Amino acid sequence: MRLIAVALFSLLVVAAGEAPRRPYLVEELPYLDLEQMDQVRIIVRYREMLGTTFTVESSAALFALPPDVDFPVLRRADLRDIHLAIDCRRAPSEAPGGPIVLAVSAVAIGPNSRDFFALVEPELPSLAPVRRCLIAAWAAQCGKRHKDASFTKRAQDTLLSSLAALLEASIKAGRIENFSWLEAGDAALQGDSRWQKMLIEFANCYGDQREIAETAQKIGLRRLGDKWCIDSEFLQEIGMVRVEGALITKKRALLDDAVRAWEKSRRSSQQLRGLTANQYLNRARERKLVLGMNRAEVALSWGYPEAVTWTRRESVLMEAWFYGERYACLTDGFVFHIQQ
């Protein structure tokens, strides 16, 4: 890999003016004024060649190669394992409304994650909050990709501490309108535990202000009593779950899981009744629930349920009878699943 890097650097660098000292992540492209920048250096992870252009991860932008220069090494799969530093400028797009096209003037091995963050760190106080969020998301991805948890922790601690300080300063200065960046930041960092913890602490401190409460709700926080929590914790507390974008009760989700497993088995309700009527009756009197029991036998065995949920598969009624943490699922009136 080191030989590949040296070869790439020596073969591919084409001088074309001085690039900015601090390179930008490709995720930052939408926040750069490319029309006003003669040249920009972008850190990317190569994806694939498309004719005379190539694409990169995390962006729809196209990078156009000079017609008089060949970059054969860019066709190597090895490039997907390293950061590339690309010097480029905005090129006119052939299709109005199409992806950004950037004319490439130089390609080199980019800095590793730690070196890149060392370049970014002094600039953090002047960076827009949403760009700090994008860099924090990038740091998390790099940590997972390279199994470097210590880098991710240090980078995210630094970035999220700066964001927390910015939030507090905005509150004290009364700049409520500045919190609109939280929505874009949440889209970039969604699911990150440190980010969620910071938002919850922020909402718990200042969520009594209407504007902040509205912002907290937009980014998925929910008020539970006198505290704020993330959406999944709120739903768990009220007995709901989100499945494929729809809200259903946890009991209904358990029934749906059991029904899917039952349908996958390709069995029918007629195959469930494997004992005689007397054998089922004896099991029920012993308070033993077994597959194939009908509703009356279930009621005799476990008693009447505390809660019932149901759904239909074509014309067949599927039920779940709940007894605290225990439940039994029935199809067409016969038990096909038991959770003790």
Going from the first residue of the chain to its last (340 residues), give the mean pLDDT of each consecutive group of 10, the final group possibly shorter.
Answer: 38 41 87 86 87 87 78 59 86 74 87 89 88 89 82 87 84 70 83 84 85 84 89 86 85 93 89 91 94 95 94 90 95 93
Query: How far is 339 from 319, CA to CA, in rounded Å?
Result: 13
pLDDT at position 307 is: 94
Query: How far is 269 from 313, CA to CA, in rounded Å?
Result: 13
pLDDT at position 176 is: 61
Query: How far is 118 from 131, CA to CA, in rounded Å?
Result: 16
pLDDT at position 302 is: 95
pLDDT at position 178 is: 66
Q: Which residue has the tokens 């060392």?
A: 118
Query: How far is 41 from 85, CA to CA, in rounded Å?
Result: 6
pLDDT at position 84 is: 87
SS3 of 313, please?
strand
pLDDT at position 211 is: 80
pLDDT at position 15 is: 38
